Structures are given as structure tokens and as C-alpha cells.
Amino acid sequence: MRKKLNKTSLKRILSSAELRFGVGLGLSGLCLYLALQNISYQEVWQAITQANLTFVGLALMSVAANSLGKTIRWKILLGKAGQKVAFPRVFMALLIGQLFNTALPGRLGDLSRAYLVGGLGPGRVFTLGTVILEKLLDLMTFALLFCLLLLLTPLPLWVSQSAYSLIFIALLIFLSLSLLVFYREQAVRSLTKIVSWLPQKLQAQITQYLHGGLASLNVLHRPEEILQLLFWSCFIVSTAILTNQLTLLALQIQLQFRASILLLLGLQVGITLSSVPGTIGVFEYACVLILALFKVDQATAFSYGVLLHSIVLLPTTFLGLFFFWLLGLSGEKIDRESLSYANRNK
């Protein structure tokens, strides 16, 4: 009994959010230590304070364009179900979600987006499906970027191996999505059979969730909206690359766009791996490692990481906090709005 209890306790500890946060914090501290080795703090401060403000301002505008592009794409993904959810509400929910993803481990921001928008008509399971579809579109876009990068420049073995892995995963996702789009009902029936041993009430609930989540794939039946999604996905990636490039120019680092592309991909990996709020340390060290491939010295690369992190993180965080205060995440408030939406559309 004691052995079983110990095993259960150990399993609970290993799967706990506190442990993941602790590991993330340790990783963050290690990355900061490695990034700051042999660096003069005065040199870093001087580089940041002497940054070209024109390019910093343009980079901030690029971040704003990126957020607007993400909002437009999400509005397309919401389709007819989310037609009556106002664009400003979608924008605010997106930034609140980014705030939660930054501040909390476990990608809780994506759940908050489904909560904030889904309660206004589209349904929370359906809305969560659109968020998952959005992430899959990003993954496939990054895989295409890696393909482009492999053509443009020779990469270290560890980078190219990661690229091939990502491309393979993206291909599997693309094939899986294609099958789900054309054979959705068959997939639901197959999954329903798998859970047929469960109580009938629970089976019915799972089937309802499956239908709700997979309904987010309806948008992929319409060629016009697929083209719009492709356009805005390319726009989102392009503005992210542009932000990286403008920040390089702000610090007078003269590198081609391929460096900004690699920075975007490397930082996405770093952000995914880290579970510490703000990915502090991991973000900066990723910049140091990537820019070292282009012969940029450590102090300049670290200064770049700090400046880029501030440009990307601070405006969206402050806006997210403001919108969080403005809307709140009160269950009572969302339920009132859901009832009001239902009454308006009777």
C-alpha cells in the first residue's frame, strides 16, 4: 500500500505544474547565466540606449500589424458561427490570451480565448478548435519557412536536423487535416466506437464535443477562405520577420533577411520549450546562439535579445492587462453576455 502511495505521489509531483515551472525557471536561469558570461553590462546598456529610435518605432508598428493580422485570420477561422462577435472583442481576446500565455505556464491563454469569445455565440469547444487550427497553420508556415531557409543558406547540422523534423511533422499534420476535412463524419463515428464502453451520457457529451471541435474545419471547405487564411498566415510571418530585421537595424547590425528568418524560427522553439513567465533568459540566449552563426559578438547579440524582447512583449502585455481589466474573465459576466447573445438571436 505504501509503495503504491509513493508511486502515486511521485507521479503527481512529476506531472505537476509547479515542477514544470521549476524546471522552466532553472532553464531560464541557466540561459541567462550563459548569455551574460564575459559581457560588460555597461556595453549592453550603451547599445540599447543608443538604438535608432526610428527603427524601434517601425518595429513597434510591425508588432501592431502582426497582432491585427492574427485577429483578422482568427475572425476568418470563426466563420459564420462567429460573425456577430465584434472585431474589437476578437482583438481584445487575442491579446488577453497572449498575456496569459506569457505570464502563465501551460498555454492557458489559448483556453481563455475560447472562454471569452466562445461564450458569445460560436461555442467554446468550436472556438477552441479554431485556436488549435490557427496553431497548426502557424506550424505549417514555419515548416515552409525552414524549407526556404535550407535553400537560401547552409545551416549547422543541429539546425538542419530540427528543420527536417519540423517539415516531417508539418506534412503529417497537413495529411491528417486533409483526411479530417473530407472524412469528418467517419472520423467521429470511429472515435465514438472507441469510447463506446463509457456510460451513455458521457458518450453523448464526447460526441457533442467532437462535432463542436471538428466544425472548426468547415472553413477549409471554402476555397476563397483558404486563400484568405494563406494570405494572412504569410502576412503574420512576414511582419514577425520584419520586426526582427528592423530591430537589427536599430542596433546597426547589418545582416540579410535570412538571419531574421532563422531568429523567428529559433525563438519559436525557445518559447515553446520554456515554461517560465515571459520566457526571460531563454529568449535572449536563443538570440545569442543564432546571431553567433552570423559572427555577431555576444554583447551585441544579448543587447539585441533584450531590445527585441521588449519590443515584442511589452506593448502586447500592457494592452492585454488593460483589456483584461476592461473585460474581466468573470464567469458570471461571460454567462450574462452569452444569455444576451442568445436572446438577441431568437
Domain assignment of residue 249, yes or no: yes
Q: Per the domain annotation, does 196 fall within a domain?
A: yes
Instruction: Give the chain's domain count.
Output: 1
pLDDT at 107: 66
Q: Per-residue pLDDT for the chain (346 aa), expressed as one digit of tens each? A: 444 445 454 445 444 445 455 555 555 555 554 555 677 777 788 888 899 999 999 999 999 999 999 999 999 999 888 888 889 999 999 999 888 887 776 667 788 888 888 878 788 888 888 998 999 999 889 888 888 888 877 777 666 777 777 788 888 888 888 888 787 778 777 777 777 777 777 777 777 777 777 888 888 888 899 999 999 999 999 999 999 999 999 999 999 888 999 899 888 876 766 555 556 777 888 888 889 888 898 889 989 999 999 999 889 989 999 998 887 654 445 445 444 444 444 4
- Report if residue 39 sits inside a domain: no
- Residue 64 domain-assigned (yes or no): yes
pLDDT of residue 101: 82
User: Does any domain span residue 229?
Assistant: yes
pLDDT of residue 82: 82
Within a domain: 18: no
Find the DSSP H helices in 50-183: 53-78, 87-103, 108-118, 124-152, 157-182
Q: Which domain holds residue 311?
A: 51-80+87-344
d(C-alpha 293, C-alpha 290), whole Å = 6
Answer yes or no: are the C-beta atoms of 162 and 188 closer than 8 Å.
Answer: no
> How confident is the model at residue 54, as a pLDDT?
96
**Is 65:239 a contact under the CB 8 Å cutoff?**
yes
pLDDT of 230: 94
| φ and ψ at residue 170, rounded to 5 degrees | -65, -40
Alpha-carbon span 143 to 182, nearest angstrom: 23
Query: Which pTM value belongs to this model?
Result: 0.81
pLDDT of residue 276: 56
Joined together, the cell numbers standing for residue 23 give 524546471
| C-alpha cell belonging to residue 225 | 477562405
Which pLDDT value is given to residue 34?
55
The predicted pLDDT at position 20 comes to 52
At residue 241, the pLDDT reads 95
